[in-house]
Amino acid sequence: ETDGFALFKNKAQLVSFAGYDVVQRESGTSVKGTTRISKKGNSYIRRALYFPALTAVKYEPQFKDFYQRVFEKSFIKMKGYVAVQRKLLVLIYTLYKKEEPYDPQY
């Protein structure tokens, strides 16, 4: 789906392509809405990262801690999992571009 990340100059472009970019819904100038992910990007990438995010939260302590921080703010489990999905996507992109193996202590 991403053609080996050749289309992206930075991680922000990849995050936007996958639909994990945050947008704020607002009406006019005075009514501020809540922030959400745009979901305008590639739904296949979001779908493919769902189960890896669940596994990362279950078995990787740094992802579990990150999930807990997000969950404690909103008390919505899916927000935590989506945040982990975005973090995994950025991690995969970074490791691919730097040609380095995954190091959990990094």
- From CA 69, how far away is CA 11, in angstroms rounded? 22
So what's the pLDDT on residue 6? 83
**Confidence (pLDDT) at 30:** 67
Residue 25: what pLDDT? 75
Sign of CA dihedral 30, 35, 36, 37: positive
Residue 52 has φ and ψ, to the nearest 5°, of: -60, -35
Query: So what's the pLDDT on residue 71?
Result: 96
- Per-residue burial over 71-103, b if 16 or more Cβ lie within 10 Å, else e, is beeeeeeebbbbbbbbbbbbebbeeeeeeeeee
List, for residues 29-87, the tens digit of each pLDDT value.
666 777 788 888 889 999 999 999 999 999 999 999 999 999 999 999 999 999 999 99
Delimit the domains of the chain by residue range.
Answer: 8-98
Residue type, 45: I
